Structure 1
Amino acid sequence: MKGLIIKDLYELIKQCRFVVLLCLVYMIIAIMGESSTFFLAFAIVFISMLPITLMAYDEKSKWDSYAITMPYTRKEMVLSKYILSLIGILSMSILYLILRGTTLLIMDGSLSKLPGMMTSMLPMILVAILFSSINFPIIFKFGAEKGRLAMIILCALVGGIFGASAASAEEGGDFFVSIFSSIPNIVYPIAAVILLIISFWISVNFYEKREL
């Protein structure tokens, strides 16, 4: 398992440097801008889907056919992609909080706004996990190439919904907070865990039945 994750991280650095840099740029825009939720949400969601990009590279290089000859089970191969997605989400979120906290200390001399920002990030993290939880089973069922169209349609649909929400929000308002303000914070981690468990179980079943 550790070897699979290290392999994916190495491939991520080698093949997806531009995408990672783009996510960092969006995060910096979120830190510097007044209305930051869209850019931060984009960065978190986009980084969570990088393992799917890696799966396309793996499929092109016939990695899966080689990997099943090694002492890895298909369940471990699926789990490594979920772990990598979570690493991306948590890393981007933590980095944002560190940089945003530093900015607040420099500009305001206080971290009083940081707890509110942490709360507003919970829906974004849930949305990122939702994207991954839906897309992973599709990719493990049909493969990266065949599943790409379904993934693009899903991204466009969800992105359109949140884009419309952002456009209709009050000027300068936080549309994520306005949408999810009535939901208790404890619901987000519970929903995330449930989504991941269900998605992982479906992905494993699809992948174990797929011919490589």
Structure 2
Amino acid sequence: MKGIILKDLYDNFYIKKNLASFIFGLGFIVLTAGLVHTQYSFILYVELIATILGSFALEAASEQDEKASFDKLQITFPVTKSEIVIAKYLLALIFLAASNLLSLIFTMFHVFAWNTATFVQGVQIWCTGIAISVAFTAVSYVMFFLFGKKVATVLYVIIAVFITSIYAASSVIIGLDDFIAANKTALLCISIPAAFLLFGLSCLISIQIYKKRHS
């Protein structure tokens, strides 16, 4: 499993095209997020940073696997098909942890430097981002295993745009001040465990898809 994780990291960061895409995407998000210090941009970027970067690991690795038909070789390794899938989900958790840490740093800037929200409000919004990013990654990973890189990427973009549109609409209907001021403790106590349960279920579904495809 360690070898599969290292191989996927190689696909993400050693191949120049993928590394450039990662640096450009992350740099664009960080730059624009750092320049605009509004409540709207705060919530949007806290939710987007982890949500987008969480699925990046499998997207880049899937592209390389499909080009080289690597799955045919991979299933001959001394690991089970379940372990192959689990390794990719473990890497997803690493990416999610790193991207949510970046979101936390961004949140602290908004709380202490730019005074966009109070500490409690900022942490609650950040925790909301954790739930959304884990759930989104769970759904996108099933799509990548089920449809392959090309189709899954299209669906990935559609869902991301849909989520962003919902946020834009809700910010107008509900109002950002009301959303930020609302106590989200009860919602987070449900949504965060539910997101991780969905992530676990996603892994089980992907294992079955992978086994069926390579049986």
TM-score by length of 1: 0.80
Report the alpha carbon displacement of residue 28 of structure 1 after superposing the two structures with TM: 4.8
Report the alpha carbon displacement of residue 76 of structure 1 after superposing the two structures with TM: 1.6
Q: Residue by residue, what CA displacement relative to the aligned partner does 1:139-163 show, whole Å, maximum 9, x if unpaired? A: 2123223434433333333332223
Report the alpha carbon displacement of residue 47 of structure 1 after superposing the two structures with TM: 0.1
**Distance change in 2, residues 1:97/1:133 (3 Å):** closer
Aligned position for 1:191: 194
Report the alpha carbon displacement of residue 113 of structure 1 after superposing the two structures with TM: 4.1
User: Amino acid of the residue matched to residue 177 of structure 2?
Assistant: G
- Return the match for 2:84 from 63, 77, 83: 77
Query: The residue matched to 1:186 in structure 2 has which SS?
Result: helix
Does 1:202 pair with 2:205?
Answer: yes
Aligned position for 1:34: 38
Aligned position for 2:9: 9
Q: Residue by residue, what CA displacement relative to the aligned partner does 1:155-203 show, whole Å, maximum 9, x if unpaired? A: 3333322232234453x6375x478837443223311221012111111
Aligned position for 1:20: 22
Report the alpha carbon displacement of residue 18 of structure 1 after superposing the two structures with TM: 3.2
Report the alpha carbon displacement of residue 67 of structure 1 after superposing the two structures with TM: 1.0
Distance, in Å, in 2 between the alignment partners of 1:74 and 1:203 is: 10
1:50-65, aligned counterparts within 5 Å?
A: 50-54=56-60, 55-65=62-72
Report the alpha carbon displacement of residue 104 of structure 1 after superposing the two structures with TM: 6.1
User: Amino acid of the residue matched to residue 14 of structure 1?
Assistant: Y
Distance, in Å, in 2 between the alignment partners of 1:142 and 1:102 is: 39
TM-score by length of 2: 0.79
Higher mean C-alpha displacement, 82-91 vs 10-19: 10-19
**Distance change in 2, residues 1:2/1:64 (3 Å):** same
Distance, in Å, in 1 between the alignment partners of 2:66 and 2:183 is: 38
Report the alpha carbon displacement of residue 205 of structure 1 after superposing the two structures with TM: 0.5
Distance, in Å, in 2 between the alignment partners of 1:149 and 1:102 is: 33
Does 1:164 pair with 2:169?
Answer: yes
Query: The residue matched to 2:77 in structure 1 has which SS?
Result: coil
Gapped regions of structure 2 (runs ≥ 5):
none
Aligned position for 1:97: 104
Q: Kindly indicate whether the alpha-carbon contact (under 8 Å) linking 2:121 and 2:181 is maintained by their aligned counterparts in 1.
A: no
CA root-mean-square deviation: 3.0
**Distance change in 2, residues 1:104/1:5 (3 Å):** same
Q: Kindly indicate whether the alpha-carbon contact (under 8 Å) linking 2:57 and 2:95 is maintained by their aligned counterparts in 1.
A: no
Query: The residue matched to 1:70 in structure 2 has which SS?
Result: coil
Q: Kindly indicate whether the alpha-carbon contact (under 8 Å) linking 1:31 and 1:100 is maintained by their aligned counterparts in 2.
A: no
Distance, in Å, in 2 between the alignment partners of 1:140 and 1:78 is: 9
User: Amino acid of the residue matched to residue 92 of structure 1?
Assistant: S
Q: Residue by residue, what CA displacement relative to the aligned partner does 1:26-85 show, whole Å, maximum 9, x if unpaired? A: 245435523211122211111011023121221112121111111122212211222222
User: Amino acid of the residue matched to residue 90 of structure 1?
Assistant: A
User: Amino acid of the residue matched to residue 90 of structure 2?
Assistant: I
Higher mean C-alpha displacement, 30-39 vs 197-206: 30-39
